[in-house]
Structure formats: structure tokens, C-alpha cells
Structure 1
């Protein structure tokens, strides 16, 4: 408890001191609060510090009890100490005390019994450390906040995705976060306190870095601080890479720091390059798609006159009055047939259709691919040597897709040899090997470097200059070969150059069947021919009449429907592309009227891209018989034989 005091003129010294005034003066000078209370806990003496605290005069304090001055709650806090004081013990206590009307105070207090014979009272000395304690607590709170802030800053820095590096005015590292460790390949412990220029700045830039940093420290002028720039950084292995850099300056009273934020631009640059490459690929694919559409249109336009050429050449051969005319007809027929095969080969590559397995002769596929790609070789003076093994087993495969593989390999070999001086040759070979059928395409060029052989079949990978290739030919070829259960390999040609091998396993091969006799269709039929290209229809009619059939040629679907209402035919040939009702729509009309004739209807088309799907449907079933232009006498006979097999007319 805090006993009250009294001033020298308010009461005499309670301790019986001979010079009470002097004693009072001394006690009043003490910064602590000093009081004396009697056995009834009434204030008998209080000093000036106490009166200043209670803000009351001595007359209102002296003679009053502790409970009257401070309240029962404060008084009761002293009750537990009475036994110890009564026993003559000096008691010290320290802590927070709530004084009604005076607030909460932090007190350090000493209580001592006063004896004059028997205990006559208690002397109390109290020091108020409230402001000091509050300062300590505020400092502790600030330290806690600072520590929490530092922990938060450390967590932010350590978890940052970008590199955070702090250096001092000497350019030495003070902080190096985990992202910086991962990016530059060096640990924080290894770089702390070391010059940053020796760690992440490439040697060629270190002098410029040092001079710029020194100039900024001296003048405050620089081209880096406070800006985002792109520079080069160096990893621990010496490799240089692009980084985005931003530096901020932190000034303290005694010193300053520089915090650098860095981001590795390598992934961004790679992503940008990939986006640009994808854009180029998309553009290339769009051009290829446009070329495919153009090719389909060109093929359709070429196939009609080719059909006339082949049909007329066939008729001219059969009816030639002299051997000289027959030979001329044979040349015309051969040239038109070659043109037709080239068109079909191109269209087969552009056609979007699911693989169709059928028995095919690999030698024929290779010959067709060589014929289709011959112009580029001839114009460049590149020779070709064939070594095609006779009697190869027939392979169950998609003829168009394997033809695309052979053409791709021949075109690649041609392009490789274009820049080579001296003799330039391509070598094509087919043979059996360990039960597999093998196509080999080789050249005497520079060959394929070993370091790129693992990537040469990747999509869009190419070593050709921009505009000379798409990088998809070999990738597509590998997919085609693997879909047939085979493999495609690249290696060195004996004697120099590159060598590609297409290997189809023995499971894909079927025994060579003996050549069937020439297919002969039925004879003496009544046949309706409908085509808006009257010359094509006329040539087909002549061909059919030469086979012994009777024909009726009509131009367009409207007169055909009228004729069908009047006359019944044994078979019919409809062109696919016609004004009004096209060939499929006309066939549907026939199917509704005469299902038997619908089964013996043949639809002709020179559109070898979209035509087959339109005629046969997506599944290739349920439609009329398809005859591709340009047709030959053999293909016409085969179509008629297929029609005859569908049932009687």
C-alpha cells in the first residue's frame, strides 16, 4: 500500500527525529512517493511526490485511511501483506495497480514496519515506472512488429517467383533468394558478401557495370535505377541468357541498399518463338489447304478432257486403219494415261480419307511416285537409278498413303541435291529382307548429320531454308509407315549420302496371287449415259458401243428423268457434277422408281477429293458404283461387271 505523507509544516516528524524540518525537506526531494500509516491504516505523513500524485492537499489526506483515499479495492490488496509486516518483515512488491481516479500505474513499492517498542505503523516507499514500462512494452510491440515484418518480408522474398538480390554500396550481396539460386545455379551461402558483378554479370559487361555503379554512387545519375530494362545475365556454368532487370534504392540514415528484381526471359523468348513458329506453320497449313482445294479443282477440270483423250485413243487403237496410226494412237493413249496417273497421285496425297487397306504392288507405288516427281529431277539434271525386285509379295496397305511416303522421300532427296555440284543421283530399291518388304531411297548428297537424326522425324523440324519446306513430310511419312505396322529409318548410304528405309513387316504381306484374267463386263446391254460434258458422254458411248452395248446419251438430269419414264435401261452412267440434279440426286430419284436399275447405276466423277465421299457416303457403303475419270476401257468393263453382279436388271 502507499501510506500518505505530510509536508513539514503539516505534521511533525513521526519518527521522533530531532530535526524534523530537515528530514521532511530531504524526503520531499525524493522522487518516490513516501508515506507513513499508523496501526489503523491512517495516513500520518505524506511527501510532496505523493500529494502530487493524488492531486489533493495534505489536509485532505492526513488522518484519513487508505480505503478512504484510494477505495476498498486498493486497500484489500494490501491485506495479505499484514501478517508479514506484523512479523517485522520488509516487503517488496512490483506490478500494475488500478487507482480509482488516477488510472492504471506500474508501481515498484517497499513496505517496512516502523517500530518504537511495539510496531506503531508502516513506512512505504513507492516508485512509479508507468511511463518506463509503457515505453518498454511499446518497444517490445515495435520489435514484435518489426520481427513479424521481417519474417513477412523474408517469406515474400523467399517465395518470390522472380530473382530478388540485395547489394550494399560496395556492390556486395546481402540477400539472394531461392529463385535467384535456381536461376543462376549458385547457392545463397556461396555468394553472400561477394561482389555481385563477379557472380551474375557476364565478363564482357563487368567493366561497364562497375563504372555505372560507381558513377551513380558519386552523382546519383544512372540509366538503370528505377527502370525496367533487358540485359544479359550469367549462370554459374558461364552460359549467358536474357533477363529483365529492375533496381530500386533503399536509403537509411547510415547507409543505403540496392534491391534488384530479375526475371529470366528465356522461357518468354522461347514461348514467343514457338508462337511465331506456330503462326508460320498455321500459315503454311492454310496455304497447303488452299493448294489442296485448288488441286482438287484443277484435277476435276483435267480429268474430263483426259477421259476424252483416253477413250478416243483407245477407240483409235482398236479401229486404226494402219499400223502407223495405231502406233500414234498408242502414244496418245500412253501420254494421256500418264497424265491421268500423275493427277490421281497428286489427288491421292491431298485426299482427306481414312486409310483403306487393299492388296497393292509396292513396285507400282514406287514407279508412280517416281513418275509424279520426275519433272523436278529432270529440270535439275538429277539422275535416278531403280533396282526394283520382281515378284515382291503384295502388301495389304493404303495405296495413296504409301505413294505419299515414296513421293516425300524422292522430293526430299531431290531438294538435298539441288545445291550440290557434280554428279547428282538418287537410288531407289525394293527388296525382301528377313520376311519384310523394304523400300530404300538414297542419294549421293551430304547425308544427314548424326546429331539431327533423332529429330528429323519430329513435326515441323526442317533444315531447309524458309519457304523451301514445311517440316511435316517426314513426320507424316513416319506416321503412315507406323500405322501399317512398319518403321522408317535414316542412315548413311554406302559410298556417301543419306539413306531412308521403309520396312513393312511380314505380317503386312500376303502371297502374290496369279494375275486374273481381264475383267469382262456383260455385253448387249441398254445403257443410259447422262453428263453435261457431252464430249465425255460421247466418248464413253463410243467405248461402250465398241464393247457391244446400246447407248442413249442425254445432257442433264431433266431429260434423263423424262427418258426413264418412257424407257427401261439395263444400266446407267451418271456424271456427279451436273446443273440441276447432280448424279447422286438423280440416282436417288432412280432408286425410288426402279431399285434394280439403281443397283446397276455407275456415277462418274473427276473430283477425286470430295467425289468419292459424296458417291459412297462417309462409310463408303450404300451408294452407287463409283467410276473415276479419266476412265479406261478396263475400268469401264470392271464397273459394268460390278453392276451386273448386283443383280438382274
Structure 2
């Protein structure tokens, strides 16, 4: 009779032990998934390809609990052009005669990309052995990394810590990592290609700017000489004014080229930010545009309100306002005086909102967003490169702000954008 209650208790103990074991397995799986998610986020956050490749193989080794790992990058002709090992000491690395070239078992995975899991890689028919000085390895897990339709390389993992073989869970988690790695590598390669093209564009911009400024400097120099020569002679003031306008226009063009070159070279560099008196800056730009108006043309009417000071990069801000004000004056029906209103106000904590409104030809329906794309021209009857508003958007976004376009009530266009407020404005209006 004393044995009867013992059997249910033993069964209960067995069930509790089994439940505890399953819970431990589940907890371990959850921890591994959590580690995988963290690894995917970490890998995707870095766009430097070399750093990324190192991080990928280190992560794969950690996820599979492998002692050694390597990432082989496939080159032309199906050979390994890169071999990035982890887990080996500097002494072990120095002792290796040569790294794998894509022969034997690793060459098989290069020629026939596949996931391969082995208890002892030496027993595989394609095993080629190790180079002299290489530490012995048995357990093996190989997983390909695909970038779109191309096999970029392979992850090689060996020697499960604590002995034993790589299991199905190891294979599954490393395969998932390889999939995420393929996307991250693709992004990094696209980023590097974009940076290379931008660098070429910066060099081209510098050459163009230099070639443009040289004739402008010559023109400016001869104009200054002509003014000095005519200063003491009886010359009509109207004739002198023509030379002065040439001088002003050449100076304006030279400044614009400098600003464009600064913008091109500073596109990816950290901006030099200063407190900018926007009212003063815009007044200078307005004066430059008014000085360039022909005597036979109607004089533009420009209203400039008090603009709050901002924190920004002066050359880029000059380019921004020059493009917007220039467009407002330019895109006006022939024979009609341009009307431009420039106003500003605080816009929440740490921001300034500025509006440039005109009474010009306006924006065609449905093109209020498209006008900010490069080489877009809303009015084919006016000359221009179609880059002005694209530059404006880039300048505003480099400062962390936004820019929008809408119809101006009563006709014309209205451009509204935000810029960081100068520190004093933040304290006063924040």
C-alpha cells in the first residue's frame, strides 16, 4: 500500500523534468533568435564593406558556437580572392603556409554553391587537406552568401565548441544570417559605387569651376582697368554704369561658382555651421539680382520681412536663397514686374520657417513635388538647367529641414522651408 502513491509522484517528477528540459531548449532558442536579430541589425547598420565582412564572419562563428570561422570571397575564375579567418591567434595565422585558393572542399562549394554540414571534413571525397601550419579541424558547416543572383562567397565554420557536431539549428541560424548578409553586402557595394561616382563628380566640378572662373577673372580684371582708365575722362555716366554692371555680374558669377563648388565638395562632409544673419544675407542677394536687371525691364518689387537668424552653412544658404529668389524673378510673364515676398517666423522649438512667395507663372498642376527632382523643368519656354530646385531641396535636407511648394493665393508660387534656429532664437522662442 505504501508503493501506490509513489508511482504517480515518479511520473510527475519525470514530466516536470521533461518540461524543464523543453523550457531550457526553448529559452536557448529564443536567446539565439534574439542574438540573430541583433546581429542582422548590427550588420545592416554599417556600409563599410571591409568592416561588414569581418563582422559577418565573427557573428556567424558566435551564433554557431564555432571555434574557427572564415569568409571566402569569390573572385573571377571561381577562385577565392579573399579569405578572412577568425578564431586563430596571430601566431597560428603567421604559421600558415598559404590560405585556401579555392581547391578541394572549399573549391567544391565555390563551384557548386550549397549548404554543407559534416561531422569530419577529412572524410569528404573532395577534402584536399590543410596547408602546412594550419590547425587541425573536423566538424564543418559551409553556407553560401548570395547577393541577388550572384554567389558572393561562403561562410566556413569548423570545430563546434565543447565537441560534437553542428546541428540543424546551427545550419538554420547561419543560413538566416547569410541571407541578411547578402542584402547588407549589396547595399554596401551600391553605397561604395555611389561614393566613387560622387568623388569623380567632385573632381569634375572642381575642374569645371576652375575653367569657368578663369575667363570671369580675366573679364573682371579688364573691366576694372577700363573703369580706372575712364575715371578721369569725360565719359557719360551711362557708359560707366554699363561697365559697373559687368563688374557686378562677374562678381556675382564668381561667387556662385565658389558656392557651387563648396556645395559639391561638402556634399558628404560634415557641414561647418555658423549663426547666420539671414536678413542681411538675403538683402545682399536681392541687391545682386536688382543690379543685374536691364534698364528696359520692369524693376522687380521685393519685400523682405525680418527673418530670424538660423544656424547653418553660409555658402549653402546663399545658394538656397539665390536659387529661390532668382526663380521668382525669372519665372514672371514678359513685361510684368516680378513681385517677391520673403518672410520668416519661429516654427516650434529650435526651428525657423521661411517663405518665398511670388506672383509669377506658377507651378503646373500635379508637379508640385516633381519640380524638386533633378533636371525637371516645369516651363519649357524659360532657359535653365532644371537643377535649381533640386539643389534647394538638398541644401534644406542637409540642414535637417524640409521644403514644400504650393500655389500662392492670387497667382504664382509659394516655397516654404525650415532651417535650424540660431541658439539665441531657440532660447527666445523654444
Fold similarity call, TM over 0.5: no
**TM-score, with length taken from structure 2:** 0.39
Higher strand share: 1
Higher relative contact order (CA 8 A, sep 6+): 2
Q: State the structure with more CA Rg.
A: 1
**TM-score, with length taken from structure 1:** 0.27
